[in-house]
């Protein structure tokens, strides 16, 4: 759903074809004359964490695999 635009008259729920059962897609309004907000997606944010925080979230084994270049998607597949 990232980057998709919807007209104001269409309900988001009707257009949301996200296949993830735990979908957290949300709308961000685009307003003429205002800059679009900057945002960081999950994988980018996760890379900014300290090793200790990643280890706390992933656990020892998965953090080691992540450190060896395994993606988050691969870790939880």
Asked if the structure places residue 65 within a domain, the reply is yes
> 57-72 burial by CB neighbour count: b if 16+ within 10 A, else e?
ebeeebbeebeeeeee
In the chain, the number of structural domains is: 1
Domain that holds residue 38: 12-75
> 27-46 burial by CB neighbour count: b if 16+ within 10 A, else e?
eeeeeeeeeeeeeeeeeeee
- pLDDT on residue 15: 67
Averages of pLDDT over runs of 10 residues in the chain (77 residues) are 77 69 76 83 88 94 92 85
- pLDDT on residue 51: 92
Asked if the structure places residue 37 within a domain, the reply is yes
- pLDDT on residue 77: 79
Asked if the structure places residue 26 within a domain, the reply is yes
- pLDDT on residue 7: 80
Asked if the structure places residue 6 within a domain, the reply is no
- pLDDT on residue 49: 93
Asked if the structure places residue 21 within a domain, the reply is yes
- pLDDT on residue 44: 86
Asked if the structure places residue 4 within a domain, the reply is no
Q: Residues 29, 7: contact at Cβ < 8 Å?
A: no
Asked if the structure places residue 58 within a domain, the reply is yes
Asked if the structure places residue 3 within a domain, the reply is no
């Amino acid at each position: 759903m990232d980057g998709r635009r919807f007209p104001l008259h269409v309900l988001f729920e009707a257009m949301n074809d996200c296949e993830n059962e735990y979908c957290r897609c949300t709308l961000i309004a685009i307003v003429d004359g205002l800059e679009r907000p900057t945002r960081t997606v999950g994988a980018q944010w996760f890379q900014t964490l300290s090793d200790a925080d990643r280890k706390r979230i992933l656990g020892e084994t998965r953090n080691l695999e992540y450190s060896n270049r395994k993606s988050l998607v691969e870790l939880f597949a």
